[in-house]
Structures are given as structure tokens and as C-alpha cells.
Amino acid sequence: MAIGILLALLGGAFVCLQNTFNANVKKHVSVWSTTALVLLLGFLASLAAGLAFEGSRLFEFQAQPWFWFSGILGVGVVACVTQGVQILGPSRAISLIMVSQIFFGLMWDTLGWFGLEKVAFTWQSLLGVLLISGGVLLFQLGPRLEQHNALKRKSVGMDGSARRPL
Amino acid sequence: MRGIFFALAGGFFLTFQSVANATISTGIGTWQAATMTQFTGFVLALLIVVMLGDRSYLNLKTVPPLYASGGMLAAVVLYSNMTAVHRMGVTLTIGIFLIAQLVAAVMIDSKGWFDMAKQRIGRTQIAGLLLMIAGVIVLKW
């Protein structure tokens, strides 16, 4: 359990770091070229780590055919996230994406699809997911609300010339 | 409406990806799964680049090497994700991943690190993070 939590904290921090680096690449390079580069480097890094830890045993495996199509999911992620951000803007899109992620997680744990170990559904876990979702929405959309209120307060309190919301 | 659909689908694919990776790693091993999924994803993305006739990769020369090498972090992300899903299920793994992601974002944005626009961190963001942590505690209590 403790190891799982520590790894998830490390992994999440690295996701953010990677998104930050990728955002800088996308200033110069298109989304799909960036995605191809990121996946190529991810492949090389995983290959290197695998060889370091397991040597040639890395290549001794028997994959089910569908394993080879797993890459489609990553492409689905990039396509949907890019479209969502373009239409809704980053803060609204990312908040929806994260809320969707955690709710589908609860669904998956409950149903145990794809050979995943079932985790029994409880009302408590639904409450936990609702709290996490609320936190995500507050985090992503809160700054806009604060801005909005500051603007209102200013325009009411002073001469109404608050052009630059802080 | 269309934007909402894409955002929800994006979340679905992200969760599906975590689950599929965890399942594949049970079948053939963690590093094998990481290597394979990144490889197949790369081949597909490359195909899309070729089909679009996209040549913007030529601009890579202007990208600082640190940022261009961000993809390598995926090895750590994938290993942690698969191991965490095995140990504590998808919901809890995603919950903690999201918290760590947003805490890291707060740190980077407040300092303006890595060429990100420096942003003040509002009270609602701290409150949001605390609410998420409360959610994870409720989830696991």
C-alpha cells in the first residue's frame, strides 16, 4: 500500500513534468510530431530500463494479439485531449478530463473488466470520488471565479473601469 | 457539446490506458508492457505524421534538448502507474496521480520554472487540493 502511494505520487509528479516539457516542444512542433517524438523516447527509455533490469529476458514473452494494439489508446488520448482543449480552453477541458478519468476508474474497479481485480463498490468510494472531483473543479475553475468576484467588487466599489482583471 | 464529449472521451481513454497497461504487464511483465505500448503508440503516431504530411519536426532543432527529451520520463510514469494499479486499484491510483500532478503544477507555475508563465496560486487552488486529499482519505478509510 505505502509503496503504491509513493509510486503514484512520483508518477503523477512526472506526468506534470512531462506535460510541461511537451508544452514547450509544442510551441515549435505540431501536436502529432510531438506525440511521435514523446512515444519514441518513451519506447527507448523503457527498452533501456528493461534491458538494464532483465537483460535479454526482456524479449522472452508471449503476448496476446490485442497487446499489439494498445498504442491505439495513446493516440485516442492525444486526439481527444487536443480537441477538448481547443474547443473548451485548457482549464475547463482539463477539469472535465480529470473528473471523467476518476469516474471511469471507479467504474472499472467496480466491474473488473479486462482481467483487473474487482474492487467492491461502496457508497464511501463514491463519496471519495465526488470529493476528488469537487477538488479538481475548484482547483481548475476557482481562479476564474476569484477573478470574476474581484472584477465585480471593483466595478461596484470604484468607478467601474476595471479593465484588467487580476 | 462537442468539446465536452471530447474531454470526457479523453478521460475515458486515459483510464482505459492505465487498465490495459496493468493487464498487459500481468501477462508479459512490466518493462515488456511499457516497451511494447510505447512502441506501438509510436508507430501509429508516426503513421499519422506521415499521412498528414506534417514536417514541423524540422523545427525540433530550435527546441531546448531538456524539453525535447521529456518523453523519456514515460518509463518512470508507466512503471509507477502499472505497479500502483496492481497494488491498490485504478480509482485510488488515479486519485493520487491527480493530486501529485496538480501539486507539481502549483510548484512549477508559482516559480515560473521551465519557461512557464509565472502565476500566483489562489486560495481556491489550495482549497481544491485539500478537498482532493480528503477524497483520497475517504476512498481508502
- Chain B residues close to A129, C-beta within 8 Å: 91, 95, 135, 139
Query: How sure is the predictor about A153, in pLDDT bands with cuts at 50, 70 and 90?
Result: low
Helices and strands, number each (H, E), in chain B: 6, 0
Residue B94 near residue B15 (C-beta atoms within 8 A): yes
Residue B11 near residue A99 (C-beta atoms within 8 A): yes
Using a CB–CB cutoff of 8 Å, tell me whether B112 touches chain A. Answer: no
Using a CB–CB cutoff of 8 Å, tell me whether B110 touches chain A. Answer: no
Cell numbers at B139, concatenated: 476512498
d(CA A19, CA B57): 18
- State whether A14 and B73 contact (CB < 8 Å): yes
Give the ipTM of the model, two decimals please: 0.94
- Tell me the pLDDT tens digit for each residue of B54-72: 999 999 999 999 999 999 9
Residue whose C-alpha cell reads 502565476 in the numeric block = B119
Among residues 35-74 of chain A, which lie with CB inside 8 Å of chain B? 35-50, 53-54, 58, 61-64, 67-74
Instruction: State the first-to-last Cα distance of chain B, in angstroms, to the nearest integer.
Output: 37
Query: How sure is the predictor about A155, in pLDDT bands with cuts at 50, 70 and 90?
Result: low
CA distance B47 to chain A (A): 9
> Which sign does the torsion angle of CA B53, B44, A92, B3 carry?
positive
The residue among A78 and A144 whose pLDDT is bigger is: A78
Query: How sure is the predictor about B119, in pLDDT bands with cuts at 50, 70 and 90?
Result: confident
Looking at mean pLDDT, say which of A31-45, A63-77, B117-131 comes out highest: A31-45
Query: How sure is the predictor about A163, in pLDDT bands with cuts at 50, 70 and 90?
Result: very low
pTM assigned to the model: 0.90
Q: What is the 3-state secondary structure (H, E, C) of A93-159?
A: HHHHHHHHHHHHHHHHHHHCCCCCCCCCCCHHHHHHHHHHHHHHHHHHHHHHHHHHHHHHHHHHHCC
Of all residues in chain A, what percent carry a pLDDT higher than 90?
73
The number of CA neighbours under 13 Å toward the Cβ of B95 is: 33
Query: What one-character DSSP code corresponds to residue B114?
Result: T
- Tell me the pLDDT tens digit for each residue of A51-107: 999 999 999 999 999 999 888 999 999 999 999 999 998 889 999 999 999 999 999
CA distance A156 to chain B (A): 22
CA–CA distances in Å: residue A31 to residues A80, A136, B53, B88, B89: 12, 25, 13, 33, 31
- State whether A16 and B138 contact (CB < 8 Å): no
d(CA A148, CA A142): 10
Query: Closest-CA residue in chain B for A68?
Result: B40
